[in-house]
Amino acid sequence: MAPDDTRRDVAFADNTIGEEEAAAVSAVLRSGWLSADREVRAFEEEFAAAAGSADAVFVSSGTAALHLAVLALDLRSGDEVIMPSLSFVSAAAVCALHGVVPVFADIESVADLTVSVSDVERLITPRTRAIVVMHYGGHPAHIEEFVALARRHGLRVIEDAAHAPLVSRPGGMLGTIGDIGCFSFFATKNMTTGEGGMVLAKQPAVLARVRSMRSHCIDGSSRSRTASGSAGYDIASAGLNYRPTELAAAIGRVQLAKLDKDRARRRDLVSTYHRALVGIAELEVPFASRADDSAAHHLLPVLLPRGHHRDRVRNRLRSVGVPTSVHYPPTHLMTYYRHGAPEAHGLREATVGLEHLPHTEAVADRLLSLPLHAKLDTSDAGYVADRLAEALAAEEAGA
Ligand SMILES: *Cc1c(COP(=O)(O)O)cnc(C)c1O
C-alpha cells in the first residue's frame, strides 16, 4: 500500500454541530422555558424567509410534518395517495394509519432515482387525492411537471423535501412549489436539530391547520395561558402534540446559518467522488450527468455492477473503515406494504402493494450509498473510491 492508503475510519454521516450550537442551547437552558416559544417562532421566521415562504411551522420530526400534511389536506380513509416506493417509509405509514391507501410508483430511470411522472400518471384513479414527490438525495424531482399533472387531475402535491432544504428552482425553493412541503432535521440530514421537521404550505389556511394540529388544536399557547393565569381553554378540533423544543429551535437557527457553507462542502466532495468513480468499470452513478449545482447532495448513491453481491462488497468496505448504507429498500416490497397495508386493505384490493415497478426493482439490489457529509475530508472521498474499486476487483477475482 502507498502511504496514502493507510487504513482510515470514515464516518458515513456526520453533522456540523459545534460551539455555536452549544452556546445557543446553553442560553435556552438558562432562560427558564424549554417548550415551544420564542426560539421556535424565530426559527420558523428565519426558515420561511430563507425559503421565500410567508410562514413555516416547526414540528418535532419530519414524520410529524408528513402526518400533519395528510391531516391538514384532509386526506381520508379510502383516498389514494401516489408516492415513490424508493423512499423512506414515513409518507406511506402516515397515510396507511388513516386508511389512506399508499400507491407506489416507480423511479424515472437508473440515472434519475426520483419518482417517475409517467408512472404516477399511470396510477391515477378516481380515488387519487394527492401525490407525494420526494427529492431523492437532495436532487429535485420533476416537481413542475407533477404540479401540472396534479392541476389537470385536481390533486394535491405533498413535497417530501426531507433531503432538500433550501434548494432553488426557477419557480421557487423546493417545498414551496407543491401544496405543502415537509422537511426533516434528523441527525444525518443536511441540517439537524437532533429531531425536528418543518412544514411550508401554499395556502395560509392549510398552514394554519398544521399549526393548530401541532398543539392539540388548543387556543393560545401554554406559556401565554400560564402568564395570564387563565384556567380555561377551548378545543375546536382534534389535534396532536408535535411541538418541538426551544433547544431544538436554538440548534436549528445556527444550523440554518451554516447550511450554505455545508452545502458547498458537500458539492465539492461530490465532484471529487465523481472524478474518482468514473474510472470504475460498470459502476453507475445516478445523477452524475445532472449539471445541477443547487442540489442539496444529501446522499451519494452508486449502482454496483450487475451480478455483484452487495452484502459482500459492503463487508469488504466495512473491513477497511468504509461504512455504507442503502437508500432505500423499496417500500412496496416490505412485508406490511407487500400485503397491501392491512389498515388500508380492501380499499384497492391487495394489488396496491403488488405493482411491478421495473426500474425500482432493477436498482434495488445494486444501490449503495457512500459516505457523504460536510466534515468529510476531500482525501477521504478518494480513499473511499479507491477501496470501492479494490473491493469490486476482489469480487471479480473471486478472492
Ligand atoms: C428522514 C426522512 C423522513 C422522516 O424524517 P424524520 O425526521 O426522521 O421523521 C421522511 N422522508 C424521507 C425521504 C426522509 O429521508
pLDDT in tens, 175-227: 999 999 999 999 999 999 999 999 999 999 999 999 999 999 998 666 666 67
pLDDT (0 to 100) of residue 398: 84
49 within a domain of the structure (yes/no): yes
Cα separation, 120 vs 325, in Å, equals 27
Confidence (pLDDT) at 353: 44
For range 16-43, the mean pLDDT: 97
Mean per-residue pLDDT over the chain, rounded: 93
Evaluate whether residue 322 is within a structural domain.
no
- The 3-state DSSP class for residue 273 equals helix
**pLDDT at position 351:** 45
CATH code of the domain containing 218: 3.40.640.10
What's the rounded Cα separation, in Å, for the pair 45 and 51? 10
| pLDDT over threshold 70, residue 252 | yes
Q: What pLDDT was estimated at residue 347? A: 47
Q: What is the pLDDT of residues 92-134, one digit of tens each?
A: 999 999 999 999 999 999 999 999 999 999 999 999 999 999 9
At 346 the pLDDT is 47
When pLDDT is averaged across residues 229-245 and rounded to a whole number, the result is 89
Confidence of residue 343 (pLDDT cuts 50, 70, 90): low
Strand pairing class (180-184; 172-173): unpaired
Q: Which atom of ligand 1 is nearest to the CA of 196?
A: 7
Residue 321 lies in a domain: no
pLDDT the model gives residue 221: 66
- In the chain, the number of structural domains is 1
Residues with CB under 6 A from ligand 1: 61-63, 87-88, 90, 134, 160, 162-163, 184, 186, 197
- The answer to whether position 29 is within a domain reads yes
Q: Is residue 157 part of a domain?
A: yes
For residue 5, being part of any structural domain is answered with no
Q: Do residues 286 and 110 make contact, with C-beta atoms less than 8 angstroms apart?
A: yes
Owning domain of residue 41: 19-258
Verify whether residue 202 is a known catalytic residue: no
pLDDT surpasses 70 at 304: yes
pLDDT of residue 236: 84
Q: Does the residue 112 lie in any domain?
A: yes
Place of cell 444529501: 298
d(CA 390, CA 371): 17
Higher pLDDT, 396 or 248: 248
Band (328; pLDDT cuts 50, 70, 90): very high
Q: Is residue 108 part of a domain?
A: yes
Atom of ligand 1 nearest to the CA of 188: 1
From 81, 185, 186, give the residue whose CB has the most ligand 1 atoms within 8 Å, as the site to mutate.
186
* Pairing state between β 197-201 and 180-184: antiparallel
Q: Calculate mean pLDDT across residues 285-312.
A: 92
Alpha helices in the chain (DSSP H): 19-31, 38-51, 62-72, 90-96, 117-123, 143-153, 204-214, 222-228, 246-277, 310-319, 335-338, 351-354, 358-364, 378-396
pLDDT value for 1: 46
